[in-house]
Amino acid sequence: MFKEIIKELNASIVKKDNNNVFPVFEAKGYEGIEISENNFRDINENNDYNNKIIFIDGGNNTILSSFNFNLQFIRVVAVVNENNKRKKIEKNEFYSLTTTKYRDKKVYYNTRFFPIKEKLFDNELEFDSMSEELKEGNFRISVGKIANLTRRLAEIKFAAEKIDGLNEGDIIVLDGSLMATTEIEKEFLDELYSLAEQKNIIISSLTKTSRIFTTTGASIIDILNSFNRLKWSYYPAFNINNESHRAELYFVKLHKRAEYVFRFEIYNKQKDYSEKIISLLSSNSKDAAFPGYPYGLVTADRFARVANEEAEYFRTRFMAEAGKDFKLIEKSMKSVDMHDRLSGI
């Protein structure tokens, strides 16, 4: 039985015949281009680029949560590199409190921000809990899942703030995709692009995982890896005509010993810089612990992460500060912790 399962799994990963294979993106505005060995380019490293590269990532963890409220601690980090060496690390930390509001026969989620030092958001954010872009199937998104969207918006906003201190030709590399999944994320990205164009700051991103399939049913990553090339970029895979995804999309293997292929994107008006940036990312991807992944993003991830121990410390502080008032909060929290209690039996 196990041999049959393994055989079936292997067959689903890569088909023997890679001719007439197209990548598939099921959203509107994507035309897959037949996969061809002619679209591979070898990466030649460039160490002569003197401009700054800023790597941006964020982390968050739940402090308090119930059916109708969620308190998060969110941290966004910018790692500034110059001449391929880390120059400094900057961060912005804040609490985000999302609560439910009922208005006009609808449930809305209202998110307020409480900065540790510098304010990142000017205003509160409000989300329709049953909007088509947020809801999960036929159900409203849970209040806790607003936190991931908030962290993503914080990363984009932090990138926009960094532009003030940059010079022409400097580069921003976001963790994740440049595809906006909500209207508010599109607004934040459009603002970032507009500010970047004014100073010719290059906006790009690197995504650790890719869920893009092909017409064989296999992952495009598995198909590209089957060509057995060492260090490469692959383009084009799609013609993109989607206002929520104003980017050119590449696949890259940044080190000859890398075990992973990543999705690289660049703001589509800055496409001519792509080879130079991919080359610089390759030069920054030689750490022995994770060859093929830029050390700037490794560092950003490490400093942005909000560990469970840290979240527990904040939770304890809130309990102490609330005193008797915490009893009401705790009672509300018990409405959603039944699964955790059952798991502990």
Q: What string of DSSP letters covers 294-306?
A: -HHHHHHHHHH--
- Which is nearest to 58 in space by CA: 256, 257, 302, 251? 302
Contacts of 117 (CB under 8 A, 6+ apart): 92, 93
- Residue 266's DSSP bridge partners are 204, 248
Cα–Cα distance, 6 to 1 (Å, whole number): 9
Instruction: Supply the Cα-derived Rg of the chain in whole angstroms.
Output: 22
Side-chain-side CA neighbours of 318 within 13 Å: the count stands at 18
Distance CA 164, CA 238 (A): 33
- Rounded to whole angstroms, the Cα distance separating 336 from 211 reads 31
Q: How far is residue 95 CA from its own chain's centroid?
A: 20
Average pLDDT, the chain: 89
Residue 154's Cβ-count burial label (10 Å; 0-12, 13-18, 19+) is: buried
Tokens 């460039």 appear where? 46
Spatial distance between the Cα atoms of 46 and 65, rounded to a whole number of angstroms: 48
**Chain segment 105-158, per-residue pLDDT in tens:** 889 999 999 999 999 998 899 998 888 888 777 888 888 889 999 999 999 999
Vertex 93: Cα angle to 90 and 95 (nearest 5) = 170
Please give the model's pTM, rounded to 2 decimal places: 0.91
Domains of the chain: which residue ranges? Answer: 40-306, 310-343
User: Which pair of structure tokens corresponds to residue 317?
Assistant: 């502080």
Q: Which long-range contacts (CB under 8 A, 24 or more apart) does 331-339 make?
A: 332/66, 332/67, 332/68, 332/69, 333/64, 333/65, 333/66, 335/66, 335/67, 336/65, 336/66, 336/67
Which residues partner with 206 through β-bridges? 175, 264
Candidates 270, 276, 221, 231; CA nearest to 254 is 231
Amino acid identity of 301?
D
Q: Tokens for 39?
A: 């679209």
Lowest model confidence (mean pLDDT) among 56-60, 77-81, 103-107, 292-296 = 103-107
198 pLDDT more than 70: yes
Phi/psi of residue 82, nearest 5 degrees: -140, 135
Q: What is the pLDDT, as a whole number, of residue 236?
A: 97
Query: Poorest-confidence range of 11-15, 91-95, 188-192, 206-210?
Result: 11-15
CATH code given to domain 40-306: 3.30.2170
Q: Kindly state the percentage of the chain with pLDDT values over 70.
A: 91
Question: Which stretch of DSSP H or E encloses residue 32?
Answer: strand 30-32
Name which of 1-10, 228-237, 267-276 the model is least confident about: 1-10
Judged against a pLDDT cut of 60, whether residue 343 lies above it is answered with: no
Rounded CA-CA distance 261/252 in Å is: 6
Q: Tell me the pairing of strands 52-65 and 69-82.
A: antiparallel
